[in-house]
Every structure is written in C-alpha cells, then in structure tokens.
Amino acid sequence: MATIQLSKVEKKFGDLHAVKPLDLTINDGEFVVLLGPSGCGKTTTLRMISGLEAVTGGRILLNGKEVTWKHPSERDMAFVFQFYALYSHLSVRQNIAFPLQAQGMKREAIDKRVNEVVDILRIRHLLRLRPGKLAGGDQQRVALARALVRRPAAFLMDEPLGALDAELRESMRAEIKNLHIAQHATTVYVTHDQIEAMAMGDRIVVMSKAEVQQVGTPVDVYYNPSNLFVARFIGSPGMNLVKGKFSGGAVRMAGNDRYEVPPAWQKPLADSLDGRDEVILGFRPEAARVTPDGSMAGEVYATDMHGGHTVLHVNICEGEIVHIRSDRQNTYPMGTPIRFAIDPEMVRFFNPRTEAAVRREAAR
C-alpha cells in the first residue's frame, strides 16, 4: 500500500522558487510522471519526496503518515538515479545485495531476494561482472534490480533512461512499465521527454518554471491542454497556435484567413474573452485536413516525410507556420498554395493574456 500525498510542498533557494507550493496525490499502484523542461522543478520535487532534498514548506505524507522530515532510508522508497549510481568496485551481485546488507539482513535471506530480482530483470548472466563492463541498458537494469530488491512501498525514478540511446530507451520504457504492472508498485517518474511520459504514465504532471501546469491522464493532457505551455510541450510537433481576433462568430487571422467558430464554442468563447477580441486558435497537426474547400489557406514551406505519414509545414501568413499531418501520397513542392480545414471537434481556443485554455463547458 503506498499512497503519497504532497501538501503545499515548496522549495525556495533564497528568494528563488525552485518549486512553488504544490499539491498532489499519488494513488496506490499508480504510475505518475513528472514532466517538464530542464529547470522546471520536477527533479527537485522528486528529491523532496525521497528526502534527498529538504522542503522549505509543506508536508509529505506516505499512507497518511507524515514523512517530511524522516531520514531518506525510513520512507520505504527506492530511488533510481539517472547515472545509475552503481558502485564500480563491487560486482553486480554485490551492488544488488548492498541495500540489504546495509540493513543487516541475513545472508540466506539476501541471496534469496537477489535471486528473485535477478530473474525478473533477466540479468542473471551478469552477476559476476563489474558495472563498468556493462552496457548502458544493462547498468540501468542493475540499478532497477537494486531498487526492486528492497521491496519498497514506492519507486522514485529520476530520468533513468536519459543516458541511453533512442532505440534502447524505447525497449527499456516498455520493460519498466511492465515491471510496474507486475509489481503493483507505486511509481513516481521524472522525465523531460514527453513521448516517454505519454507512453508510460497513468497520470502526467506537467511542470514549467517551478509550477504545475496541468495534472491529467495522457489523453487529458493531449486533447485538452489547460494552457499554452502544455499545448506546445505535448505532442511532436506540438499543437499549432495561431493568433487571431474573434468577432462575428469567427476568428480572423492575419492573411485574411477566417475560421468559423463551431456553435458549441460560440458562447464560451464570448464569455471568457471578457469583452476583448484577441484569441489564440489551437489545433493539432492531425486535426487539420488538406482539402480544396477548406476555410484556411497557406503555402507549403517544407515537407517532413515520416514514412507512414507526412508533416507539412504550411506558411499561413507572414511567416506563421503551422504543421499539418497528411498521408503519404501527398507531397507538395515548396510554394504550393493549399487549403485546409480544421476538425471542429478537435479545435481549441486559448486566452492570450492568461494563456489558459477556454473551456467548452461551463466550469463545474
């Protein structure tokens, strides 16, 4: 059982906020990803949970009990470091046994646990080797084994795949997720890679500049980003965001493009814009479709072939480029004028001043 609660947890360095007061509940067995660019506070938050960093304010609770000031080893959490933190002078077996030895466990019990764990991660053949001789992926497996062997209530992982190459990252991703499922373990995972977060997380906590931008499932965060940052950060490429003015039921953008706002959005948009008319129109590349009778027009600037699909860079006016997904057959030479339409179910709007998303339904 491991429910972790963060209540107004914050970290300041002098006057600088590394993490602004943050509330978060991580449920038992959940895989929560802290996602954001470097310096956003995600690692600091993770370290505060583990005790490697002391909080400046707020409380941390494990299963309802306060652990804010407990020794890192008394929180029943295991930490997986980005650079593995393996002891180079000890063998793999000794590395894995280390935490149990430190606790003073008996020899036979240690051996038993090590054997279990080693089979789960399929590294039995590496037991006698030293970490220095292993490939990155194997080293990370040893680090995972060392965390696993303690049978902790929660796993904390700090960009564990950051030091691996792309291909390995993908396979390790699946391994870690499977491990999580098999162990029913609560996991808090830090990464800057949004693909990783989307693939692995039950819920994602998007952070930027020491603040939480949005907490939600991958679907939530992808289809209903709560602000401009999340809209841009999630998805590759991120959401297209075009400035415009809302009047007469439509959004006019530079270059005389005019987009009819779907009926469901008319009132929410009018309400939230508060009398002003500046608005930001947002749509994902796959929400746009090239069609001769589309309401938006532009010129093809570049074409990215992705094998299964193509991403068109379309210049809609004065250098404002949007990305449109298209199927493989349609490759356009540079400069071709095209028209496209935006799926009314997938279009989103943002308030340029507050950067927040406009909600389609009234706030509940």
Name the residues that contact other proteins, by CB under 8 A: 12-14, 50-57, 66, 68-74, 77-79, 81, 83, 85, 87, 89-90, 98-99, 102-103, 146, 150
Alpha-carbon gap, residue 169 to 180, rounded angstroms = 16
* Choice between 14 and 308, CB closer to other proteins: 14
Output the smallest distance, CB 151 to other proteins, in A.
13
* Choice between 13 and 318, CB closer to other proteins: 13
Q: What is the dihedral of CA 54, 180, 231, 193, to 10 degrees?
A: 80
Q: What is the DSSP string of 36-76?
A: -STTSSHHHHHHHHHTSS--SEEEEEETTEE-TTS-GGGS-
Residue 340, CA atoms < 13 Å, CB-side half-sphere: 26
Output the smallest distance, CB 281 to other proteins, in A.
42
Alpha-carbon gap, residue 89 to 334, rounded angstroms = 58
Output the smallest distance, CB 110 to other proteins, in A.
13
* Choice between 102 and 305, CB closer to other proteins: 102
Output the smallest distance, CB 189 to other proteins, in A.
16
Alpha-carbon gap, residue 296 to 277, rounded angstroms = 20
* Choice between 57 and 248, CB closer to other proteins: 57
Output the smallest distance, CB 10 to other proteins, in A.
10
Alpha-carbon gap, residue 196 to 23, rounded angstroms = 23
* Choice between 188 and 279, CB closer to other proteins: 188
